[in-house]
């Protein structure tokens, strides 16, 4: 019996162990379908809710003069891809049915809405991986173009449906087409940038809650004053609608794209209602309601695009300032100015011949054993300060601070003819500065410090690495690896500086008077460094003139 039980248990284990493997693809497919079904339902519900909401807001204005649901549809397709079109179609069909559109011609409205969202998202997506976050200036041009072109198709289809139903005549055809075109375009222009960037802008809104509240209240009050006052009021003699432009400029510059979107929606809602009631600068003597509303739409579209341009310009300026501040961390300010003049768009990302210098304080752990943490940090800051000054003065880039170690790169920002020379000159200046620094420490009764420096020359890849929250400049390849190995060899040879044969040959090839830099360097033979397959020739320098090898 035990044997039978053992076999059955084994068989059961085999079945249990085998069935998940067979069912896993099916479970994965079911999970994908479940996610798609949930996403489709959410898109349909959101689409229907927003469409009904703005239909209710403009319940006396037919057709609706601004369609934020068009912007929501573009975001859905951009975020979820082609599968979002099903949700958009379902939401649009339900909305049309609720509005009493039940004939086959109504399907053309759904085709137009889905095609518009697809074209806008597809064309816009070509501009950037993260629209309005990466390269906002380039994104805006693509976005406006995609909006204007994609809405053309939908407006043509919706106007065609009106013609098929006999709801419009040839005289009013152009006005109806413009009305539909501008309604969809305004919806996309205001809502899409708002939804794309709102998450990134939320911390800013929280930090500036009082300014945001006061600004939006001012926009609401000014819009009410302009568009809800009597059409013949004296204020309208001075083209009062343009009084809102300073507030839109504030919204674009201070609150970015979300601020521009919210402000545009707020102004549009009040402007359309005021015009409907025969108030404001557009409400006087209305003869053709659709023509008047088209004029309001054109005005609001121009205002919205202006606000978006200002917002993206501000984002671009902040991005450039951030890039410059990052460069100033590594480069001398004068070198950053020269890079700005060249309009260097990729920062320091490149692959070229450079000299890499690693400097390290020998025995630093022993030195700080009796020091307080505050004294240790103060010592590091003092060391880094004069190291930075010498590196910048020698035309180098500060790559990394690694505790008591510093990496400097020569030739990363500019392809120069003296990179190796500058690196060795920098190293010798560092050694001299350490001697002066030690003299002060000895007078103060403190232990002197020793510095080891390694330099190599060759081709390396370099650039900024990290995430959006924190980035750092680094150099990758054999050159920095060799340089860091060399500075670790300095105590073994009682040397201050160790360089490779490649550095020596580069200085000679640079053909200038600085060849004297190598006069005090002593060849110490070939050495096999950790991580390298071939030994390399090394040269060492000691300020005392004594190199042990």
Share of the chain above pLDDT 70, in %: 77
Ordered by where they begin, the domains of the chain are: 32-197 (1.10.1760.20), 208-330 (no CATH), 346-541 (3.30.70.1230)
- Tokens for 469, please give them: 């929250």
Q: What is the pLDDT of residue 3?
A: 41
In angstroms, the CA 414 to CA 22 distance is 59
- Angle, vertex CA 442, rays to CA 440 and CA 444, nearest 5: 70
State yes or no: pLDDT of 386 exceeds 80: yes
How many beta carbons lie within 10 A of that of residue 386, not counting itself?
A: 15
Over residues 510-520, mean pLDDT: 70
Q: What is the pLDDT of residue 326?
A: 60
Q: What is the pLDDT of residue 357?
A: 92
Residue-wise pLDDT for 460-501, tens only, equals: 887 765 555 555 667 778 888 888 889 888 888 888 999 999
In angstroms, the CA 28 to CA 47 distance is 28
In angstroms, the CA 255 to CA 243 distance is 19
* Inter-residue contact 455 to 391 (CB < 8 Å): no
CA dihedral 141, 147, 153, 155 (to 10 degrees): -140
- Beta bridge partners, 362, equal 450
What DSSP line would sit under 384-432, residue for residue? HHHHHHHHHHTT-EEEEEETTEEEEEESSSS--S-HHHHHHHHHHHHHH
In angstroms, the CA 499 to CA 489 distance is 11
Higher model confidence: residue 317 or residue 53?
53
Query: Which residues fall within 8 angstroms of residue 218, CB to CB, at 6 or more apart?
Result: 247
Share of the chain above pLDDT 90, in %: 7
Q: What is the pLDDT of residue 345?
A: 46
Residue with tokens 């090898």: 549
Q: What is the pLDDT of residue 6?
A: 45
- Angle, vertex CA 465, rays to CA 392 and CA 390, nearest 5: 10
Kindly state the DSSP code that residue 230 receives in the 8-state scheme.
-
Q: What is the pLDDT of residue 438?
A: 87
In angstroms, the CA 397 to CA 347 distance is 13
State yes or no: pLDDT of 374 exceeds 70: yes
Residue 379, SS3? helix
Over residues 27-53, mean pLDDT: 81
Q: What is the pLDDT of residue 294?
A: 85
In angstroms, the CA 422 to CA 62 distance is 74
Residue-wise pLDDT for 237-269, tens only, equals: 556 777 888 888 888 888 888 888 888 889 988
* Inter-residue contact 39 to 76 (CB < 8 Å): no
How many beta carbons lie within 10 A of that of residue 238, not counting itself?
A: 10
State yes or no: pLDDT of 129 exceeds 60: no
* Inter-residue contact 422 to 335 (CB < 8 Å): no
Q: What is the pLDDT of residue 4?
A: 40
- Tokens for 113, please give them: 């809405």
Q: Specify the pTM.
A: 0.61
Residue-wise pLDDT for 148-189, tens only, equals: 888 888 888 888 777 777 766 666 777 788 888 888 888 888
Q: What is the pLDDT of residue 1?
A: 39
Over residues 420-440, mean pLDDT: 89
In angstroms, the CA 86 to CA 84 distance is 5
């Amino acid at each position: 019996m035990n044997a039978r039980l053992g076999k059955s248990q084994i068989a059961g284990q085999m079945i249990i162990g085998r069935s998940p493997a067979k069912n896993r693809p099916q479970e994965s497919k079911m999970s994908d379908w479940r996610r798609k079904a949930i996403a489709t339902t959410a898109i349909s519900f959101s689409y229907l809710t927003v469409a009904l909401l703005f239909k209710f807001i403009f319940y006396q204005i037919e057709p609706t003069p601004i369609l934020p649901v068009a912007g929501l549809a573009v975001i859905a397709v951009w975020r979820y891809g082609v599968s979002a079109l099903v949700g958009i179609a379902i939401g649009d069909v339900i909305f049309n049915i609720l509005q009493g559109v039940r004939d086959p011609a109504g399907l053309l409205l759904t085709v137009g809405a889905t095609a518009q969202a697809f074209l806008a998202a597809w064309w816009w997506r070509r501009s950037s991986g993260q629209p309005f976050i990466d390269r906002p200036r380039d994104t805006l041009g693509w976005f406006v173009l995609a909006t204007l072109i994609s809405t053309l198709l939908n407006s043509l289809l919706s106007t065609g449906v009106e013609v098929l139903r006999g709801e419009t005549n040839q005289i009013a055809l152009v006005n109806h087409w413009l009305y539909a075109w501008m309604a969809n375009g305004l919806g996309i222009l205001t809502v899409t940038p708002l939804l794309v960037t709102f998450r990134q802008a939320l911390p800013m809104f929280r930090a500036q809650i009082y300014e945001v509240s006061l600004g939006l209240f001012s926009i609401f009050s000014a819009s009410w004053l302009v568009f809800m006052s009597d059409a013949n009021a004296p204020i309208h003699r001075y083209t009062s609608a343009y009084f809102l432009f300073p507030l839109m400029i504030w919204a674009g510059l201070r609150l970015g794209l979300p601020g521009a979107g919210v402000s545009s929606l707020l102004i549009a809602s009040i402007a359309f209602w005021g015009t409907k009631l025969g108030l404001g600068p557009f409400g006087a003597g209305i003869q053709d309601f659709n023509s008047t509303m088209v004029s309001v739409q054109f005005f609001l579209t121009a205002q919205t695009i202006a606000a978006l341009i200002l917002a993206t310009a501000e984002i671009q300026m902040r991005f450039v300032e951030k890039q410059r501040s990052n460069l100033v961390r590594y480069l001398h300010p004068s070198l950053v100015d020269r890079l700005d003049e060249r309009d260097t768009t990729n920062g320091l990302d490149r692959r070229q011949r450079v000299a890499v210098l690693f400097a390290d304080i020998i025995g630093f752990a022993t030195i700080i054993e009796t020091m307080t943490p505050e004294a240790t940090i103060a010592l590091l800051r003092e060391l880094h300060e004069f190291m930075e000054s010498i590196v910048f003065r020698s035309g180098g880039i500060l790559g990394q601070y690694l505790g008591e170690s510093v990496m400097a790169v020569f030739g990363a920002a500019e392809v120069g003819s003296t990179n190796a020379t500058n690196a060795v000159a920098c190293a010798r200046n560092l050694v001299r500065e350490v001697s002066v620094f030690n003299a002060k420490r000895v007078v103060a009764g403190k232990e002197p410090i020793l510095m080891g420096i390694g330099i190599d020359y060759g081709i390396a890849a370099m650039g900024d690495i990290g995430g959006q929250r924190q980035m750092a400049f680094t150099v990758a390849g054999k050159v920095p690896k060799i340089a860091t190995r060399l500075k670790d060899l300095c105590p073994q040879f009682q040397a201050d500086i160790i360089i490779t044969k490649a550095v020596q040959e580069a200085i000679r090839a640079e053909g200038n008077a600085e060849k004297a830099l190598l006069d005090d360097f002593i060849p110490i033979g070939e050495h096999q460094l950790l991580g390298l397959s071939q030994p390399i020739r090394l040269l060492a320098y000691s300020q005392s003139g004594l190199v042990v090898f």
